[in-house]
Chains A and B, each alone.
Chain A
Amino acid sequence: MADPILKIEGLEVAVDNTPILKGVDLEVPQGEVHALMGPNGSGKSTLAYALAGHPRYEITGGSVMFGGQDLADMGADERAQAGLFLAMQYPVEVPGVSVMNFLRTAVNATRGEEVPVREFARLFKEKSDLLTFDPSFADRYLNEGFSGGEKKRHEILQMALLEPAFAILDETDSGLDVDALRIVAEGVNAQRGPDLGVLIITHYTRILNYIRPDVVHVMFDGRIARTGGPDLADHLEEKGYVEFGSAETAAAPR
């Protein structure tokens, strides 16, 4: 087994002084795809934001090691430069910042060097084709007026361009129709390999039919309640989260 790219031990996180994560233990070996499932409010997205370094999510206990580095000491920008990527559930609109300008700035920042214009153009073309973006998309303002599906595809496009060592997909499947879900899944699968660890955060099992996880974790009330193989997802699809104490009886959309 490869060394873990992500090693979380006893992680406690508070938002506005309210404890949300109450001792999370989770390990993802490099090259593996893990799913993190759980009912609403169990703390899945909190974990995602805390890992990415959102200032509102305060680490109050435990530790997170990322590729041998302690994440607690690093700002959001440094974590991204170190190879961590979060595909956001709700990407924000940033008025007036063009997609092209944003992506170039991000690629330069994560690589730590200016990527020649021509090389970037080639890279952008290749990856935006993969995610079925029209070239005119480059001139649009960041997420402004994007449909739900475009926002999610754009997140995965960023992942493809930034080539992270570890990607967290936070509810990337929510709000996507089947076609968009397939495009997003293909985008992720194309990057899958020994140099990429993935944590797919999802409420439902649907996306896991397109991106098969190696391991499935269930989060409940701020802790990992169970860990199993891909069949755990199938089990949840049938039984829901009720056995963990949740009122939600099914993990599949009805």
Chain B
Amino acid sequence: MADAPTWADDARSAATAALDALPALTGAEEQWRFTPPADLDMNGDTPAGVAAGTGTVALPAASGRAARLAFADGTPDPAEILDLPDGVIVSELGAALETHEALVRDRLYSLAGFDDRPGALNGAGWDAGTFVFVPRGVEVTLPIETILTATGATGRVFGRTLVIVEEGAKATVIDRYLSPDLDGVVQASTVVELFVADGGELEHVSYIGWGRGVRHQATIRAAAGKDARVRSVNVTLGGDVVRVEPTVYCRGTGADARALGLYFATGDQHFEHRVVSRHEAPQTYSNLLYKGAIQDTAHTVFFGNLVVPPGAPGTDAYQTNRNLILNEGARADTIPFLEIETAEVKCSHAGAVGRVDDEHLFYLMSRGVPEREAKHLIVYGFFQEVLDEISFDALREELEAAARAKVR
């Protein structure tokens, strides 16, 4: 990081300055009502560099990927470029600041800057960065993947991903977060910025599969141009305290954004998802679908918001959040919200928290399936509506397997 170009150093200084200038988060703020900011170390009170134990993560095979970058505690492994079409760039972001300045400089920090503490914290501290660029009209068939791992050797992990999909190009990008169960605490901060130009298509999958001990604040922002298609998929299974904040911006007429998510919280896990779609152009479409299962004494929060400022007539926007409570003591909060300032829009929102249907449970149990296993079968079925939207079959199967493995 030492020889970053001046503009990048300036940005980092600006982020650091913002951290000093922004008021500390107390938890009294409306958007921090459900997850104490201190749990995610939003004020930087925890000294960095405190080891949280040692462990290793077995990386899944890179087969079936177009390219893969892996980082252990922020240090990059050599990139595995397996099958990339000409002109496509998959690079460590720190290096790309200089080598691809023309592409990076205008975009980096433009969707997620330093105007709030999570953004400033990440801007000042990120090291594990990934840059993906898909030029006009090029299609990358296989997914491009980043894997961030935490071994516990350091108490903080910072990740940053920048993806640019040019006009008419198409790609799938996965950000995956893994660690073993740790004895201490690791604070993770990640920011993902996704740019999809006119007519481009991007499917982004964030898979949070941390072990015990990891606390993670994740910001994901995607901007879709005219007739662009964006899918933002979030799968949250691991970590002690996880807060994921995806926002999709429909910036061009005809933009089509889907925000999909599933979470399965067990033990005393706490997950919060704050999902927003902003319609900044006429005739745009967004659909938010998040489904969660909550077991033991876990707690989940979903906040969803469809924002339609003036000047976006013809907006078609939907959001649904459904939660399955698997036992007494597990808790889910759902807050679906709308901010509509344009007439002539079609918007709907629904949030529900329910128990496993007794008739479903009886049907499965009457076939010999024990109650716990029957409930899990119902949960996986419940998730299937989201998983069915993942276009890449092998990836869908991996995520299905991950959800199943969670409770084995």
Contact = CB atoms under 8 A, between A and B. Distances in A.
B158 interface: no
A105 interface: yes
B78 interface: no
A162 B363 contact: no
Contacts of A52: 362, 366
Interface stretch (A11-19, A92-100, A113-121): A92-100
B367 A96 contact: no
A162 to B, nearest CB: 7
Contacts of A56: 358
B88 interface: no
A109 B366 contact: no
Interface string B261-305: 000000000000000000000000000000000000000000000
Chain B interface SS verdict (over half): helix
A96 B382 contact: yes
Given A55-B362, A96-B384, A80 B367 contact: yes
Nearest to A164: B368
B401 to A, nearest CB: 13
Interface in A128-172: 141-142, 158, 162
A54 interface: yes
B367 A54 contact: no
A194 interface: no
B383 A96 contact: yes
Contact of A102 (B364, B382, B384): B364
Interface residues of A, number: 29
A106 B384 contact: no
Nearest to B381: A96
Nearest to A97: B381
A109 B370 contact: yes
A164 to B, nearest CB: 10
A55 B357 CA distance: 12
Interface in A32-82: 52-56, 75-77, 79-81
A203 B264 CA distance: 45
A104 B320 CA distance: 32
B371 A94 contact: no
A94 B378 contact: yes
B367 A97 contact: no
A92 B360 contact: yes
B360 A94 contact: yes
Contacts of A193: none
B367 A162 contact: yes
B138 interface: no
A91 B360 CA distance: 9
Given A55-B358, A75-B371, A92-B360, A80 B380 contact: no
A101 interface: yes
B62 to A, nearest CB: 27
Given A95-B384, A96-B380, A105-B377, A158 B367 contact: yes
Interface in B349-393: 357-360, 362-371, 373-374, 377-378, 380-385
Interface centre among A92, A96, A110, A158 (most CB of B within 10 A): A96
A86 interface: yes
Given A92-B360, A105-B377, A110 B368 contact: yes
Contact of A97 (B358, B371, B378): B378
A88 B362 CA distance: 11
Given A92-B359, A95-B381, A96-B382, A53 B373 contact: no
A94 B366 contact: no
Contacts of A76: 362, 365-366
B289 to A, nearest CB: 13
A158 B366 CA distance: 11
A81 B369 CA distance: 8
Nearest to A82: B368
Interface centre among B357, B360, B366, B368 (most CB of A within 10 A): B368
Interface centre among A95, A97, A102, A141 (most CB of B within 10 A): A97
Nearest to B379: A96
Nearest to A56: B358
Interface in B319-371: 357-360, 362-371
Contacts of B360: 92, 94
B381 A109 contact: no
Contact of B377 (A53, A80, A97, A162): A97
Contacts of B381: 94-97, 141-142
B141 to A, nearest CB: 24
A76 B362 CA distance: 7
B380 A88 contact: no
A55 B361 CA distance: 10
A54 B312 CA distance: 53
A92 B383 CA distance: 18
Contact of A96 (B357, B373, B385): B385
B365 A75 contact: yes
B380 A109 contact: no
9 contacts: A53-B362, A55-B362, A88-B363, A94-B363, A95-B381, A96-B382, A101-B377, A110-B368, A141-B381
Given A54-B366, A56-B358, 10 more contacts: A75-B365, A80-B366, A86-B366, A92-B363, A95-B382, A96-B384, A101-B377, A102-B367, A106-B367, A109-B373
Interface of B: 357-360, 362-371, 373-374, 377-378, 380-385
